[in-house]
Structures are given as C-alpha cells and as structure tokens.
Amino acid sequence: MIENKQSVTVTVAGSYQPAVVNLKQGVPAEVTFVRTSDQGCLDIVHSNELAFETALPLNQPQTVTVPTDQVGDFEFSCGMDMFSGRVVIS
C-alpha cells in the first residue's frame, strides 16, 4: 500500500487531545490544531524541535507541516511552555 500523506487533528481545550501524536517516518505529515476552548493560555502552539509556530484563533483549524525525516520524540507546547504534547515519529 502506498501512503503518501498522514494527517492528525489535535483538539486544544485546556490541554492537547491527544497529547501524543504518532507518525510514521518518511511519510509527509500534517497536524491540524483546533482550539475549541478559551481555557488556559493555549492561543499559540509552537515547537522548536519541529520548527513550527502558529497562532490558534478559537474554532479556526490551523494546519502545520511536520518533518518526518527523523525518528524521534519531539515536543510542542503553548506559547508560555506550560502545556505540552509530543509528536512521536517511528
């Protein structure tokens, strides 16, 4: 089977759900963040390790591209690094 893309949606509502996103190495990946609650300070999501940062307007899905060339465990977090989630590439 040929898999040419993988997409995962993370709901942002006081935390990241799911908090762990599993992706396959070598398959282009997109993660869509949807902030559905005003709770907390989750209006920005960023990852130094995965090189993205995006604002999350309420109820407006935002999609980022995640590099999958390297296997590993990468963290993303809110703007103030108080809440975090992980992308696991294997």
Interface residues with Cu ion (CB under 5 A) are: 41, 78, 80, 82
User: Which residue, 80 or 88, is less far from Cu ion as judged by CB?
Assistant: 80
Q: How far is the CB of 41 from Cu ion (least distance, A)?
A: 3
Give yes or no for a cis peptide into 57 (omega within 30° of 0): no
Nearest Cα to 42, choosing from 84, 5, 90? 84
> How many whole angstroms separate alpha carbon 65 and alpha carbon 42?
19
User: Which residue, 68 or 86, is less far from Cu ion as judged by CB?
Assistant: 86
User: Which residue, 51 or 82, is less far from Cu ion as judged by CB?
Assistant: 82
Using Cβ positions, the residue closest to Cu ion within the complex turns out to be 78
Q: How far is the CB of 78 from Cu ion (least distance, A)?
A: 3
CB 14 within 8 A of CB 39: yes
Q: How far is the CB of 79 from Cu ion (least distance, A)?
A: 6
CB 79 within 8 A of CB 87: no
